[in-house]
Amino acid sequence: MPFIHVPKSWQLPERVVTSEAAFLQRRRFLKALTGFSIAGSALALAGCQSKQATGDTAPIAGTKALEAISNPAFVDADRPITNELIAATYNNFYEFGGNKSIWQNAQALPTDPWKVEVTGLVNNPRVFDLDDLLNFPLEERIYRFRCVEAWAMVVPWLGFPMSALMKAVEPTSNAKFVRFTSYFDPQVTKGPGFPPVQFLPFPYTEGLRIEEMANELAFFAVGIYGHTLPKQHGAPIRAVLPWKYGFKGAKSIVKIEFISTQPATYWNTISPGEYKFESNVDPQVPHPRWSQAKERLISPGGQFAWEEVPTLKYNGYGEYVASLYS
């Protein structure tokens, strides 16, 4: 009897799979940048560490190598990893501008020293410095990233589960939500320009239900592509929630508060009809100004290009999170 292969709903056509030659070229490129090799599951990949870097490596200049263990549950996103330099130069960070080319503006972000205050309804309030954050057991997770604007990437993050921080601070039974607050200084983070920053609800805040934060997928990233986060990605620590639209991933976090009531958030405050508090990826729920049924996958072949593919409910992570919303 002939073997008949029925593709899974999350599987993409072979035409978008990275070629073996391109994959090997990327590995050689990363190895050349770092001077390290990969041994077993331990990662020691470095970015370009020169603060004077120019040309193609400028968007990742100043980053430092991080060691992390590859999480076997998240080593394959069933899509090719996005080219690093494309991911580093195609971002949203509204504190530094309203277009996708904000990486140069974002270099003004001061990241040393850095403190993250964890407060509110917890038994052990803490102030974490950068060394504290890097002392959590770090792992690499390759996640799909889906923007509410209907474009998508695949990104190898380095960091630790949000549940690890929860364990350290011990939220009380009254903690029902968590609020993340991003760095803001009107002299540095000047906003998108129009409307002026003083008329926008900065600092940028985002929030989760406590059950969402405790979910296995919820992640604090301190690195990307084997090195610390470039500033445009939200250095030195950001939230990564792969089943939600990307704006839920607060960047450059300075405060985490455990609270009893649902917090106001930046985009939900600006336009509650367009940006819901939960904002889970759902192809059946259109944005008021465009469909979410499909997405444009960036850089499927290693170059800046688009491949339109169907949007997956919960971004393909329903097995982990669907029960949160039943």
Question: The domain containing residue 139 runs over which residues?
Answer: 72-325
CA 25, CA 315: separation in Å to the nearest integer?
Answer: 28
Q: Residue 262 domain-assigned?
A: yes
Q: Residue 60 domain-assigned?
A: no
Q: Residue 63 domain-assigned?
A: no
pLDDT score of 195: 87
pLDDT score of 55: 52
Q: Are strands 42-45 and 205-209 parallel, antiparallel or unpaired?
A: unpaired
CA 222, CA 278: separation in Å to the nearest integer?
Answer: 24
Type of residue at 273: G
* CATH assignment at residue 146: 3.90.420.10
CA 53, CA 60: separation in Å to the nearest integer?
Answer: 9
Neighbours of 182 (CB within 10 A): 23
Q: Classify the C-alpha dihedral 89-81-32-232 as positive or negative.
A: positive
pLDDT score of 31: 38
Instruction: Judge whether 58 and 84 are in contact, CB under 8 Å.
Output: no
CA 25, CA 31: separation in Å to the nearest integer?
Answer: 10
Task: Please give the tally of structural domains in the chain.
Answer: 1
Instruction: Judge whether 77 and 156 are in contact, CB under 8 Å.
Output: no
pLDDT block averages, 10 residues each, the chain of length 326: 41 42 38 33 35 62 96 95 94 95 96 97 98 98 97 97 98 98 97 91 98 98 98 98 98 98 98 96 97 92 80 98 95
Q: Residue 4 domain-assigned?
A: no
Q: Residue 97 domain-assigned?
A: yes
pTM: 0.84
Nearest to 62 by CA among 75, 74, 70, 50: 50
Instruction: Judge whether 217 and 299 are in contact, CB under 8 Å.
Output: no
Q: Residue 1 domain-assigned?
A: no
Instruction: Judge whether 257 and 76 are in contact, CB under 8 Å.
Output: no
Q: Residue 22 domain-assigned?
A: no
pLDDT score of 285: 97
Q: Residue 42 domain-assigned?
A: no
